[in-house]
Amino acid sequence: MNLPTEHRRCVLLRQDNGTYRLTFEQTKRPEPGPHEVLVRVRAVSLNRRDVYIMHGQYPMPPRPQLVPASDGAGEVVALGPQAKRFRLGERVAGTFFQRWIDGRPSAQTLGSALGGQLDGMLCEYACLGEEGLVRMPQGYSYEQAATLPCAGVTAWNGLMTRGRMQPGDNVLILGTGGVAIFGLQFAAAAGGRPIVTSSSDAKLERARELGAAATINYLKVPQWAAAVRAATDDVGAHQILEVGGLGTLQQSIASLAGGGHVALIGGLAGFGGDIPAMALLHNNATASGIYVGSRADFEAMNAFIEQHSIRPVIDRVYEFDAAADAYERIAAGEHFGKVVIRLP
Ligand SMILES: NC(=O)c1ccc[n+]([C@@H]2O[C@H](COP(=O)([O-])OP(=O)(O)OC[C@H]3O[C@@H](n4cnc5c(N)ncnc54)[C@H](OP(=O)(O)O)[C@@H]3O)[C@@H](O)[C@H]2O)c1
């Protein structure tokens, strides 16, 4: 479709009678305000969160009508008169929380999520505050950079910032989705011993190729905590990326090594669950709530990615007009790694 140059095409998630649906809308291209940057978005990646939001199942309710997707990358095409952090033409990715720069988050910074409280990236042009962007890692394509802001930063924060992972750590990764595969890659690159669970032997084979030292099919081995202990000489997991929630938390806790850390991230098997205080106490173990991370986390992750030449695992790339198919791919749970949408 040929549009007048001052327009942009966006996907809009609209709420009708309690259900959300995706539509394509043509709107006026925004002018960047004093400290804003206009980004020509080239690629977006979807997260499980985007599917939850579409189905009205996300624990942090979004606006009733919004441009979805937290994760996008593109080039800077216009600068506000006082914007100084970037130059025209630079290749950038948006940060999940537009106002969480560093240190501890506040209610205000946690209320600045793209594709949730704020319009997201599934749009030809996105106007963001200059503080809410990072440079893409060297040598990355837009499709690769678009995978990083939510899944990559969450895995990084859980393992490194909060988990303080050490070489030699046994690292338990649940499933083979977006967060999980970044966790696997980071753990392997940092000298850890990744142990991956999946419902699919074929996906476990791919996990081994990416550096998994041990794999467990959680459908064939429903009591997989015992298998984690067996795979670690009864030491257990020093780091756990807990993306399962209700249906997996008790077994994750039972998998913990002494002094271990469980990063409470997700709800693939239902959001919530109880932490048995005595199990942590007896183990000198720690549980942390993880909600993505700050811009400083993103920048530290990018430096690590460059140092270790890590490339994200992209499951499939969809064209903009097929955005709904990308949502379907995630909802079906068939993907391995990240699902990406390319913009025109
Ligand atoms: N707190 C945060 O900041 C944050 C950030 C990102 C994501 N999350 C949450 O973390 C979870 C993962 O997000 P994502 O985007 O990585 O999801 P995703 O890409 O959709 O992950 C899907 C994969 O999870 C695995 N899975 C499903 N049920 C499982 C179970 N019972 N046990 C183990 N693995 C299971 C499956 O792997 P197999 O096909 O291999 O079985 C599935 O393919 C979601 O609940 C999401 O909301 C939270």
Pick from 218, 192, 188: nearest CA to 203: 218
Q: How far is CA 146 from CA 10, 33, 126, 154, 311, in A?
A: 17, 24, 14, 14, 12
Ligand 1 contact, 337 CB (< 6 A): no
SS3 184: helix
Reported confidence tier of residue 1, pLDDT bands at 50, 70, 90: very low
pLDDT at 62 > cutoff 90: no
105 Cα: distance to centroid of ligand 1 (angstroms): 23
Q: Residue 321: in which H helix or E strand, if any?
A: none
**Ligand 1: residue whose CA is nearest its atom 25:** 175
Q: Whose CA is nearest to atom 9 of ligand 1?
A: 266
Q: 213 φ, ψ to 5°?
A: -85, -30
Q: Are strands 338-342 and 36-46 parallel, antiparallel or unpaired?
A: antiparallel
How far is the C-alpha of 269 from the C-alpha of 248, rounded, in Å? 7
Is residue 17 scored above 80 in pLDDT? no
Largest CA distance in the chain: 65
Q: Whose CA is nearest to atom 8 of ligand 1?
A: 266
CA 203 to ligand 1: nearest atom: 40
Atom of ligand 1 nearest to the CA of 333: 43
Give 220-272 pLDDT, tens digit per residue: 999 999 999 999 999 999 999 999 999 999 999 999 999 999 999 999 999 99
pLDDT digits (tens, 9 = 90+) for 268-308: 999 999 999 999 999 999 999 999 999 999 999 999 999 99
The residue whose CB lies within 8 Å of the most ligand 1 atoms, and thus the one to mutate among 268, 334, 336, is 268
- State the burial class of residue 259 (Cβ atoms within 10 Å of its Cβ: 0-12, 13-18, 19+): exposed
How does the average pLDDT of the chain come out, rounded?
96
Residue 266 CA, ligand 1 centroid: distance in Å: 7
Burial label for 136, CB within 10 Å (0-12, 13-18, 19+), is buried
Confidence of residue 137 (pLDDT cuts 50, 70, 90): very high
User: CB of 211 closer than 6 A to ligand 1?
Assistant: no
| pLDDT reading at 59 higher than 60 | yes
Assign 38 to helix, strand or coil: strand
Q: What is the average per-residue pLDDT within 79-92?
A: 98
For ligand 1, is residue 149 a contact (CB within 6 Å)?
no
3-state helix/strand/coil string of 254-283: HCEEEEEEEEECCCCCCCCCCCCHHHHHHH
**Helices 295-307 and 178-189: angle between axes, nearest 10 degrees:** 50
Q: Which atom of ligand 1 is nearest to the CA of 271?
A: 45
Q: What domains does the chain contain, in order, with CATH numbers?
A: 7-152+293-342 (3.90.180.10), 163-289 (3.40.50.720)
- Region 110-121: what's the mean pLDDT? 97
Cα 176 to averaged position of ligand 1 atoms, centre (Å): 8
Backbone angles phi, psi at 51, to 5 degrees: -70, -40
Structure confidence by residue, pLDDT tens digits, 159-204: 999 999 999 999 999 999 999 999 999 999 999 999 999 999 999 9
pLDDT at site 4: 58
- In this prediction, residues 332-340 reach a mean pLDDT of 97
pLDDT of 139 over the 60 cut: yes
